[in-house]
Amino acid sequence: MSYYKIHDLENYFKMYKKSVREPRKFWDKIADDNFSWYQKWEKVFDFDFQEAKFRWFIDAKLNITKNCIDRHLARRGDKTAILFEPNNPDEEAQHITYNELYARVAKMANVLREQGVQKGDRVCIYLPMIPELAVAVLACARIGAVHSVVFAGFSASAVAARINDCDSKLVITSDGSYRGDKTIDLKSIVDEALEKAPGVEKVLVVKRTNTNVNMKEGRDIWLQPLLDEAIPNNVAEVMDAEDPLFILYTSGSTGKPKGMVHTTAGYMVYTAYTFKNIFNYEENDVYWCTADIGWITGHSYILYGPLLNGATTVMFEGVPSYPNFSRFWDIIEKHQVNQFYTAPTAIRSLAKESIDFVQKYPLKSLKVIGSVGEPINEEAWHWYNDHVGGKRCPLVDTWWQTETGGIMISPIPFITPTKPTYATLPLPGVQPVLMDELRNEIEGNQVTGSLCIKFPWPSMARTIWGDHQRFKETYFTAFPGKYFTGDGALRDEVGYYRITGRVDDVIIVSGHNLGTAPIEDAINEHPAVAESAIVGFPHDIKGNALYGFVILKETGEGRKQENLAIEINQLISDQVGPIAKLDKIQFVSGLPKTRSGKIMRRILRKIAEGDFSNFGDTSTLLNPECVEEIKNGKL
Ligand code: WTA
């Protein structure tokens, strides 16, 4: 296979230039050389930024699972595809070979077909990190159903909203899930969700925890007996390059979550290409990404990217703190992991524990370590680089988003010199730009601005499910002719990028993107609450934590504030999920507002951070007197 592999820095710059000058040729060759197609494309891509329409590998036909599985069987049939490490270290790890994965996906695909799932139907998958999750995702892709994986930490209301938004008729879940020393009753969360999602006709239930569950007659079915009876007839549906592969929800700064739609061919080509280059994967390596498949990182870099490259990919069910803070390092030794990819929040939480937890492990198998999800602060970068990477493994700080489908800016190990807190350079094929407030592109180095991408790339999201208008408005109107990322960034003297954080109302808490609006909606449902505003403030481990400012109705003012705070957090936990709970809740009598009625979050953010030095221009405030009160009451 002639690979799309970058060999040295000179080759990187050469490829980069080629990708900008001749993007069609660049992508045509990558797609042609490295995948199996039922039919090749007529045209590499076309696009219209104004209408937010993008197409890649136009008219090509393929099935992504043929590329993830079938293509490897001749050479790698007995190689481990998925290495499952259970929550409990005493439970045996499972090595699922490419041959076994092929058979399991075939059976699952036929179960879905027998349950009436057809090409184009949406299937909601709400499962813990167990092999059935991977199998279910791939089985959907096999038959052309659109998977919508919902992170198994989301609440019943969040699950219901996602099911309803994309109109899933079938849900795949489990009786329960293990997380550290806890067992979570997943099935009952689904039961509650389905009270608000009446369109669901079937629920397939995986047995994982042997929890007693309520099986609703005619709707709920245990999965295993169906799999036992399924015929392993293994047809892979012929998909068009632009057929949707999956929907994945991400938080917006307003209203309901956005169902980002990714399509088949472009996503395949881009995730495979980036995986190969960024992790420097070699044939017998064991690769481990600690994300959950409920997030884009898990989709692109636990499943699709690695499997497209015939890799061995570890799937870990548990958490970094169970049974103790050595768990990650223990797994790296146990399976001789070569590439390790995790999030800054995990690094920070482990770095605050005794250094012995990591130091007793040599971690000599590691070759490359990676970070994703939020800016990695300098201290965490060094801890990770020194104690995990042994100052020997390149640390790839990878910047990308649910919307981008794959990694966009990242060092290439052993090629790009790393620099703490910098994601460094764009991958060939990616054209980032920094924009100023007047919508001009900022040229030159040592500058900061809003990060945009000015040319399409294969794995960009194509739309928001059911709401193309919102897609256009959110990403393509702030800077016409460009994709706006929502992030701010700086470019240093050599052209390296450092992502400074969100410039919109999305707050990243422990690596989870949270929109302020849905949380405020949940708070405002409390009968004693009149209005609320939440902002992020820096937190040692989570990166950011949430600070809520709440105005009570007169009727609520006699109530005990501690009790109200508990009730408010319970509401948030029920409606959005426990990850969105507030660390601090301050009851106030007013919120700073502009004359047009907009809350000035900038001021609240400064107060929450404890920075009272300069609130900037407050002349447009309708009620400047409340600022003093809020300052004095800061928690
Ligand atoms: C942030 C996760 C700094 C950023 C793949 C982005 C990062 C958002 C980095 C997308 C990084 C992700 N450095 N910030 N290396 N990686 N981000 O959709 O704000 O869950 O816009 O995708 O995470 O988060 P999402």
User: Cα 446 to chain center, whole Å?
Assistant: 30
Biggest CA pair distance of the chain:
73
Q: What is the mean pLDDT of residues 106-125?
A: 98
DSSP state of 403: G
> 71 and 272 in contact (C-beta within 8 Å)?
no
Q: Locate 464 and state its tokens.
A: 């928001």
The preferred substitution site among 249, 299, 401, 459 for testing ligand 1, maximizing ligand atoms within 8 Å of CB, is 401
User: Cα 425 to chain center, whole Å?
Assistant: 21
Taking the CA of residue 250 as reference, the ligand 1 atom at the shortest distance is 18
How far apart are alpha carbons 394 and 410 in whole angstroms?
11
Cα end-to-end span (Å), the chain: 60
The preferred substitution site among 508, 514, 544, 579 for testing ligand 1, maximizing ligand atoms within 8 Å of CB, is 508
Q: What is the mean pLDDT of residues 473-493?
A: 96
Please tell me the number of Cα atoms within 13 Å of 565 on its side-chain side: 13
What integer pLDDT is reported at residue 614 of this predicted model?
A: 80
Q: Locate 171 and state its tokens.
A: 């849900």
> 569 and 576 in contact (C-beta within 8 Å)?
no
- At residue 506, the 3 state secondary structure works out as strand
Average pLDDT, the chain: 95
Predicted confidence (pLDDT) per residue in 138-175, tens digit: 999 999 999 999 999 999 999 999 999 999 999 999 99
Give all strands of the β-sheet with 258-263 in edge-to-edge order. Answer: 220-222, 202-206, 170-174, 122-126, 146-149, 244-250, 258-263, 463-464
Q: Looking at ligand 1, which residue's alpha carbon is closest to its atom 1? A: 374
DSSP state of 142: H
**pLDDT above 70 as % of the chain:** 99
Q: Is the alpha carbon torsion for 583, 585, 586, 588 positive or negative?
A: positive
Predicted confidence (pLDDT) per residue in 548-560, tens digit: 999 998 877 778 8
Q: How many CB atoms lie within 10 A of CB 208?
A: 21
Please tell me the number of Cα atoms within 13 Å of 504 on its side-chain side: 19
Please tell me the number of Cα atoms within 13 Å of 205 on its side-chain side: 25
How far apart are alpha carbons 628 and 220 in whole angstroms?
56
Distance 401 CA to ligand 1 centre (A): 5
Q: Looking at ligand 1, which residue's alpha carbon is closest to its atom 7? A: 374
What integer pLDDT is reported at residue 254 of this predicted model?
A: 62
Predicted confidence (pLDDT) per residue in 313-338, tens digit: 999 999 999 999 999 999 999 999 99
Amino acid in position 366: L
Residue 3 has pLDDT above 60, yes or no: no
The pairing of beta strand 312-316 with beta strand 286-289 = parallel
Q: Looking at ligand 1, which residue's alpha carbon is closest to its atom 10? A: 401
Taking the CA of residue 486 as reference, the ligand 1 atom at the shortest distance is 21
Residue linked to tokens 């592109």: 441
Distance 381 CA to ligand 1 centre (A): 16
Whole-model pTM? 0.92
User: Cα 217 to chain center, whole Å?
Assistant: 35
Residue 259 in contact with ligand 1 by CB distance below 6 A: no
Residue 271 in contact with ligand 1 by CB distance below 6 A: no
Residue 289 has pLDDT above 70, yes or no: yes
How far apart are alpha carbons 308 and 279 in whole angstroms?
13
- At residue 615, the 3 state secondary structure works out as coil
How far apart are alpha carbons 141 and 117 in whole angstroms?
12
How long, in residues, is the chain? 635
Residue 511 in contact with ligand 1 by CB distance below 6 A: no
**Cis omega (within 30 of 0) for bond into 323:** yes
What integer pLDDT is reported at residue 255 of this predicted model?
A: 60
The preferred substitution site among 251, 421, 487 for testing ligand 1, maximizing ligand atoms within 8 Å of CB, is 487
Distance 39 CA to ligand 1 centre (A): 35
What integer pLDDT is reported at residue 233 of this predicted model?
A: 78
User: Cα 498 to chain center, whole Å?
Assistant: 20
Residue 240 in contact with ligand 1 by CB distance below 6 A: no
User: What confidence tier does 131 reach under pLDDT thresholds 50, 70, 90?
Assistant: very high
Q: What is the mean pLDDT of residues 397-410?
A: 98
Q: Locate 340 and state its tokens.
A: 């390790």
> 398 and 463 in contact (C-beta within 8 Å)?
no
Q: Locate 399 and state its tokens.
A: 């910047």
Q: Which of 108, 129, 545 is nearest to 318 (CA)?
A: 129
Residue 375 has pLDDT above 50, yes or no: yes
How would DSSP label each residue in 456-491? Answer: --TT---EETT-HHHHHHHHHSSSTTSEEEEEEEEE
Distance 508 CA to ligand 1 centre (A): 8
Predicted confidence (pLDDT) per residue in 251-278, tens digit: 776 667 899 999 999 999 999 999 999 9
User: What confidence tier does 453 reach under pLDDT thresholds 50, 70, 90?
Assistant: very high
How far apart are alpha carbons 292 and 223 in whole angstroms?
22
If phi > 0 it is left, if psi is from -120 to 50 it is alpha, else beta; for residue 495 that is left
Distance 504 CA to ligand 1 centre (A): 13
Residue 515 has pLDDT above 90, yes or no: no
The preferred substitution site among 421, 513, 542 for testing ligand 1, maximizing ligand atoms within 8 Å of CB, is 513
| Cβ contacts of 97 within 8 Å, gap of 6 or more | 77, 78, 79, 80, 81
User: What confidence tier does 1 reach under pLDDT thresholds 50, 70, 90?
Assistant: very low
Distance 305 CA to ligand 1 centre (A): 18
How far apart are alpha carbons 327 and 331 in whole angstroms?
6
- At residue 521, the 3 state secondary structure works out as helix
Please tell me the number of Cα atoms within 13 Å of 501 on its side-chain side: 13
How far apart are alpha carbons 190 and 617 in whole angstroms?
48
Predicted confidence (pLDDT) per residue in 15-56, tens digit: 999 999 999 999 999 999 999 999 999 999 999 999 999 999
